[in-house]
Structure 1
Amino acid sequence: MDTPNRLAAAVSPYLLAHARDPVDWHEWGDEAFAAARRRDVPILLSVGYSACHWCHVMARESFSDPATAELINRSFVAVKVDREERPDLDRIYLDAVTALTGRAGWPLTAFLTPSGEPFFGGTYFPREARHGLPAFTAVLAAVSEAWRGRRSEVAAAGAALARRLASPPPTADADPGPDALGAVYRALERDFDPVHGGFGEAPKFPPAAALEFLLRITDASDAPRAAPMVQATLAAMADGGIHDQIGGGFSRYAVDRRWLVPHFEKMLYDNALLGRLYTRAAQVTGDPGVAGVARTTLDYLVDDLGLPDGGFAASEDADSEGEEGRFYVFTWAEFLAASGDAASLAAPVLGAAPEGNFEGRIVLHRARPAEAVARDAGTDSAEVEEAVVAALEGLRALRANRVRPERDDKAVAAWNGLAIRALAESATVLGEPRYLEAAVRAARFALAELRRPDGRLLRSRRAGRGDVPAFCEDYGAVALGLFALFRADGDPAWFDQAGGLVEDMIDLFGDGTDGGFFATGRDAPSLIARPLNLSDHPTPSDNALAAEALLTLAAYTGEARYGERAAAVFRVAGRLFEGAPTAVAHLAGILAVALAPARELAVVGPAGHPTTAALLAVAEESFRPDLFVAWGDGHCDGGIPLLQGRVALEGRPTAYLCRGHTCTGPTMDAAELRRLLTRRFRLSDGERRVGP
């Protein structure tokens, strides 16, 4: 199509990619609904995102086809939505299609009344019927006929589903306790794949929330498999094709149980969550290989997703040159040419063989240990590892000359918040100053570019444009990123900004009736439902992020009202702990911290003093999710309640370990602080447990 449609004025790269479709697309808004009412036709809602492979397939097959477009334009008002820009619409209509069909995903296809009520839907529909799926043109014709011939039935079904979507979740009768943690642990234990790691069957998604929950309970006496499940899954993912063995970073998911063949799109949120997870796992295990995966993942995030203005891009596409995975896979001939003399030793380690493992091509993965290959070859493992390094360098050089997948360069507030947190925490743990520098740049970008003049956060920004107000997850994630920066560099400005965002979050999104937090602000236009998201999917839920931000602020300030708001979130989610425990894994990890009495550590001393550095290093040498750290120079507490009244005794850097802002005797000795931190604060039954 030579003449662009309405999407030519969009901000989202995903919408712009459809600006020359023959479909007469609208963006979501009053204009589209007015047109549907005026023409008395239903709305065809198509939801997707830039890195979605099957979205591209449906676009090529149907939305670029003039005959299909003519049918759409004649019988519907077509609306295109970027799920990353409008997660509220995505969640509402994803839930609707799930209710209608029992499954959902992207591309999401929904048919709505002119009032926005969904009455039919699905996901990808092919151009021609295959694999049990009807042809998209047949679906369009059937829906149009139903709208014309059975209007009252269709409208009634849509209204009933809209009422169901708008119903608030039932709250628990009592606050969730250790039994809720036990339910999540047992569900994960049941679903665990003992052969390949991870949970459930194919396709397999990186289970960041579940693994962090398990990391948080590794000291529980009745959760003996928590640590082994984490270690096995992280090792299997790192060895798999889902992990880019050349450039670092992880793809969205694997199509098989083995983590071997991915859908090749790379998302900012996955790599932020996984980079942080591998960092925390390295603290727990002491395994340098785990720390190495954390570094390559975060290096990918900084080097390949970093934007010139300091923020981070949303994703990289699965496709390049019209083929899925083209950038990442190799023929056997390419492998041999790029690897040279290293090929014979490197091939069995990297799973390279003439027949390939993905449509005749090779997805690199760690198929065999170097030690096993060395035994077979009659050499030592060091020589094999040298060959692997040489092969990967040759393949990297070959790949560098290929067309790289398209990058969706919009900066999403929530995902930038996740990245800021991952980088700030990992900078300290891994000793990587450049991660802290990247986190600071991204935080400055978020506070300057992802806010309106009145202080209201924006959901996303691209090329200086973006006007969608931020959602609850944006406030929670950015606040947690800023709290992590405060912990990393001690600048009280980060704490002030984070605290302000939490207050705004309470005001804009808080449910004053039952507790919990809505996804959309009280200033948002009305939709058929106001989502209150409790399930992780695929990022931590709005309410999990909100609860963690509230508990963090409660620990630093000692103000009980923040903890009470977090407790209300747990109460609202209580039924899910019983009925769908793995869906609230991230929230369960926060609950695990809330049930164990929090500890606060105030360190007072000059930033450059070696004792100050030693005290802070002790605080970060182990994963202690119940420990909240603040430090200042002793001259100004920056308005941080935890630092108020704390001084450097005898002019020497001093640490104060507290519980509920009641502190033990101060110490100036790093070894003594380590001893104090090693003591466990136990639950009232005298034992840290995850069951009743």
Structure 2
Amino acid sequence: MAKDRNPNRLINESSPYLLQHAYNPVDWYPWGEEALLKAKQEDKPILVSIGYAACHWCHVMEHQSFEDEKIAEVMNKHFVCIKVDREERPDLDAVHMDALQAMGLQGGWPLNVFLNSEAKPFYGGTYFTPQQWVNLLLNISEAYKKNRQELDKSAEQFVQHLNLSELQRFGLSQSQSAPSEEEFEEMYRNLARQFDKKYGGLGKAPKFPMPANYLFLLRYYYHTQDDAALKHLNLTLHEMAYGGIYDQIGGGFARYSVDEKWLVPHFEKMLYDNGQLISLYSEAYQLTKEPLYKDVVYETIAFAERELMSEEGGFYSSLDADSEGVEGKFYVFTRKELQDLFKEEEPILAKYYHVTTTGNFEHGQNILHRRISDEHFAKENELELEVLEEMVKTWKEKLMEVRSQRIRPGLDDKILCSWNAIMLKGLADAYYTFGNKHFLHLAVRNADFLLQHLKQGDKLYRNYKKGTASIDAFLEDYALLIRALIRVYEITFDEKYLQEARQLTDYTLANFFDEQEQLFFFTDQNAEKLVARKKELLDNVIPSSNSVMATNLYLLGLYFDEERYQQLSDTMLSQVKELVVKEPGHMGNWASLCFHKLQPTAEVAIVGHLAPEMRSELSSFYIPNMLLAGTESQSELPLLKDRSAINGKTTVYVCYNKTCQLPVHTAAEALEQLQKSSGQEPKFPTL
């Protein structure tokens, strides 16, 4: 970063990604009226360059091209250049990524798209070498002058494509039937075709965690008791936890693995991955009681609190893959470093973490990873398990100390509503499973932070930094926060969180909902009008905002006895059901919603002074189709209204479809009712 240069307009932005480019010689503008007006007035094409702070190839292209004076001169002369942080503006990213794919080009970041002076896209690409980039700039500039009509015609066609509704694009129409058992099993079979039965996960390299798919597998196993589903889930969760994608020393997951073995990560750590994986490993522990899963949850929460949490209780967005300009440098070790550090203990450490002299990464470096459980390793090496565990604990402490002396990866310190909501739900799920009071404290603190700083009146904001929230929220922010608040209610029984969830839901229905297609737009009706107003249907690394809203409506419909919420949830699912059956790998969160609709959800109401303790007993068991409501005294919430603690003893009411079993006074009796009513025999551990 050449601070001797004068800064460009990005110097006034809050996004760390935009600020990284503030001293480029490129005359960057942030997206906004000033840049768009300049393009119209000067009749120039627009370059929209989109990336994010933790993106390795974004940094490479910046260093090679955007910091180069001569290349910047070409850009400034022929284009109005706009820089966008995709994490702050997912709406802009979605429109321009869709445009690139409509051009038949491969998507990715950095995303560079060329628009005409009316802000309509006509060409694009991702990473370019400096020479390719200059050639492309000159060719586009020339074509824009000589073949303007042709480019404008192309741009109009792309805009028409962008404005096709998602239902039209996928050829979907509303189904009249609820998901059937046969369709549910077909979802699983279609997903199972992609299983990597050797290393877990789906398909070959690169491998992304995609937690929504494994949450579906958990529910599928619960519903069918199909051991093949549980076997693949366990294989995947073990391989990820043992691999280099998981930080063996400091906890937390990298964004993805470049190889099929989960060994070599792309080293950036994203808040949204870690929040979802805390939820997944917590839920898997409820079912399996596998100690490894508990370790992963505890270590990942410790990482997030240590390295991503702000003093105010919000969570920052990500850690960069690079430090000192080298990918992964912060996390890897040479064998010699370890020998110098651990002396005579190094051979056993090297065996445990698969360290070699030649290394398994670049330049003789080692990515620490495991392949077997501590029990197996202790047995193979004739060690007492407790001795090994103490050694591993000491190794981690020493290696963390060494890492603390290194130059840290860059921190993207913006706070995003939806990503915080994902972490909030992760913390709430971890407390729900493990009952650790510190997790509860972190969750409540984060929930209150979000409601205080990212909510004003009825509406949410997307971002927060240094006391300021400046971007109106997208559907993703509302949907994921609503879902998290429902879970926070379940772990606190504080109805303010449920009421906030309902109010936000009603705001989305008033401002995001498309009555014609019975789905939600990604942007608020009051937001800036782009060339297309999109809807998000496919679950990706983050579940789609429509799938989360459909789930929220289902759950809130039960809590508040709101038939319209329930009906709308059914309608939304029926619109996409055909695609969920065919492509469950892209519709994992929708597939989980199908599970909820196959049989009635257990509505468990707890009334009495021991309601929190009773909730803790029940929530330690894996019952994914259950929602909890509770009060220590009385409540007007429909699930609790007119219910009391019988004879002053804390009382549990287990209900399905507004029909209740006999009231009981112990968790064991409630669990027995839940087992019988489900028509299954889930593998509950004994109380």
Give the 3-state SS of the residue equivalent to 2:531 in structure 1. Answer: coil
Report Cα offsets for 1:382-412 as digits up to 9, x if no partner.
5444443333222111111111112111111
Selected match of 2:59 from 56, 59, 69 = 56
Aligned equivalents of 2:101, 2:71: Cα separation in 1: 25
| Residue 220 of structure 1: how far off its partner (Å) | 3.5
Match of 2:343 in 1: 340
Selected match of 2:32 from 10, 17, 29 = 29
Query: Conserved in 2, the CA contact under 8 Å of 1:338 and 1:391?
Result: no
| Residue 222 of structure 1: how far off its partner (Å) | 8.1
Aligned equivalents of 1:181, 1:137: Cα separation in 2: 52
**Structure 1 residues 351 and 104, CA gap change in structure 2 (3 angstroms):** same
Give the 3-state SS of the residue equivalent to 1:19 in structure 2. Answer: coil
Report Cα offsets for 1:325-363 as digits up to 9, x if no partner.
111111111121223332111111101111111102011
Aligned equivalents of 1:344, 1:413: Cα separation in 2: 46
| Residue 371 of structure 1: how far off its partner (Å) | 5.6
**Which amino acid letter does the alignment assign opposite residue 413 of structure 1?**
C
Match of 1:80 in 2: 83
**Which amino acid letter does the alignment assign opposite residue 586 of structure 1?**
N
Query: Conserved in 2, the CA contact under 8 Å of 1:101 and 1:121?
Result: no
Matched, 1:674 2:671: yes
Match of 1:182 in 2: 185
Match of 2:367 in 1: 363
Aligned equivalents of 2:624, 2:381: Cα separation in 1: 46
Matched, 1:449 2:453: yes
Matched, 1:406 2:407: no
**Structure 1 residues 375 and 633, CA gap change in structure 2 (3 angstroms):** closer
**Which amino acid letter does the alignment assign opposite residue 600 of structure 2?**
P
| Residue 520 of structure 1: how far off its partner (Å) | 0.3
Match of 1:663 in 2: 660
Mean Cα displacement is larger for which, 559-568 or 219-228?
219-228
Report Cα offsets for 1:74-123 as digits up to 9, x if no partner.
11111111111011111111111122234211111111112222111111
Match of 1:98 in 2: 101
Aligned equivalents of 1:514, 1:341: Cα separation in 2: 68
Match of 2:442 in 1: 438
**Which amino acid letter does the alignment assign opposite residue 395 of structure 1?**
L
Match of 2:278 in 1: 275
| Residue 11 of structure 1: how far off its partner (Å) | 1.4
Query: Conserved in 2, the CA contact under 8 Å of 1:653 and 1:668?
Result: yes
Aligned equivalents of 1:662, 1:70: Cα separation in 2: 72
**Which amino acid letter does the alignment assign opposite residue 399 of structure 1?**
R
Report Cα offsets for 1:152-203 as digits up to 9, x if no partner.
2211111111111111123324145135433431222011101110001111
Mean Cα displacement is larger for which, 379-388 or 418-427?
379-388
Aligned equivalents of 1:488, 1:579: Cα separation in 2: 36
| Residue 234 of structure 1: how far off its partner (Å) | 0.4
The percent identity for this pair of structures is: 38
| Residue 574 of structure 1: how far off its partner (Å) | 3.1
Match of 1:172 in 2: 173
Q: Normalising to structure 2: TM-score of the pair? A: 0.94
Give the 3-state SS of the residue equivalent to 1:561 in structure 2. Answer: helix
Match of 1:301 in 2: 304
Query: Conserved in 1, the CA contact under 8 Å of 2:281 and 2:297?
Result: yes
Aligned equivalents of 2:254, 2:557: Cα separation in 1: 36
| Residue 151 of structure 1: how far off its partner (Å) | 1.4
Query: Conserved in 1, the CA contact under 8 Å of 2:242 and 2:372?
Result: no
Query: Conserved in 2, the CA contact under 8 Å of 1:471 and 1:521?
Result: yes
Matches for 1:102-141 after TM superposition, within 5 Å: 102-128=105-131, 135-141=132-138
Match of 1:560 in 2: 563
Unaligned runs of 5+ in 2: 683-687
Mean Cα displacement is larger for which, 173-182 or 255-264?
173-182
Unaligned runs of 5+ in 1: 129-134, 688-692
| Residue 484 of structure 1: how far off its partner (Å) | 1.0
Selected match of 2:356 from 339, 353, 357 = 353
Match of 2:399 in 1: 395
Query: Conserved in 2, the CA contact under 8 Å of 1:346 and 1:384?
Result: no
**Structure 1 residues 173 and 516, CA gap change in structure 2 (3 angstroms):** closer
Match of 2:685 in 1: none
Match of 2:650 in 1: 653
Query: Conserved in 1, the CA contact under 8 Å of 2:319 and 2:411?
Result: yes
| Residue 225 of structure 1: how far off its partner (Å) | 2.1
| Residue 577 of structure 1: how far off its partner (Å) | 2.1
Give the 3-state SS of the residue equivalent to 1:643 in structure 2. Answer: coil
Aligned equivalents of 2:440, 2:375: Cα separation in 1: 36
Give the 3-state SS of the residue equivalent to 1:79 in structure 2. Answer: strand
**Which amino acid letter does the alignment assign opposite residue 172 of structure 1?**
S
Aligned equivalents of 1:526, 1:627: Cα separation in 2: 40
Matched, 1:551 2:565: no
Matched, 1:156 2:153: yes
Query: Conserved in 2, the CA contact under 8 Å of 1:345 and 1:384?
Result: no
Report Cα offsets for 1:8-45 as digits up to 9, x if no partner.
11111111111111111111112111111122221111
**Which amino acid letter does the alignment assign opposite residue 416 of structure 2?**
V
Query: Conserved in 1, the CA contact under 8 Å of 2:218 and 2:284?
Result: yes
| Residue 379 of structure 1: how far off its partner (Å) | 4.7
| Residue 303 of structure 1: how far off its partner (Å) | 2.3
Q: Normalising to structure 1: TM-score of the pair? A: 0.94
Aligned equivalents of 1:387, 1:618: Cα separation in 2: 34
Aligned equivalents of 1:568, 1:113: Cα separation in 2: 39
Aligned equivalents of 1:209, 1:389: Cα separation in 2: 31
Selected match of 2:585 from 563, 582, 586 = 582
| Residue 470 of structure 1: how far off its partner (Å) | 0.4
**Structure 1 residues 462 and 363, CA gap change in structure 2 (3 angstroms):** same
Report Cα offsets for 1:222-262 as digits up to 9, x if no partner.
85422111111000000000000111000000100000011
Mean Cα displacement is larger for which, 667-676 or 361-370?
361-370
Give the 3-state SS of the residue equivalent to 1:641 in structure 2. Answer: coil
Query: Conserved in 1, the CA contact under 8 Å of 2:179 and 2:577?
Result: no
**Structure 1 residues 48 and 180, CA gap change in structure 2 (3 angstroms):** farther
Aligned equivalents of 1:531, 1:223: Cα separation in 2: 38
Aligned equivalents of 2:655, 2:382: Cα separation in 1: 58
Matched, 1:509 2:506: no
Match of 1:690 in 2: none
| Residue 369 of structure 1: how far off its partner (Å) | 4.7
Matched, 1:624 2:623: yes
**Which amino acid letter does the alignment assign opposite residue 334 of structure 2?**
T
| Residue 60 of structure 1: how far off its partner (Å) | 0.6
Report Cα offsets for 1:554-610 as digits up to 9, x if no partner.
11112111011112221332342255332111111112112321110100011xx3x
Match of 1:143 in 2: 140
Query: Conserved in 1, the CA contact under 8 Å of 2:352 and 2:370?
Result: yes
Matches for 1:307-326 after TM superposition, within 5 Å: 307-326=310-329
Give the 3-state SS of the residue equivalent to 2:159 in structure 1. Answer: helix
**Which amino acid letter does the alignment assign opposite residue 120 of structure 1?**
Y
Query: Conserved in 2, the CA contact under 8 Å of 1:514 and 1:568?
Result: no
Matched, 1:642 2:639: yes
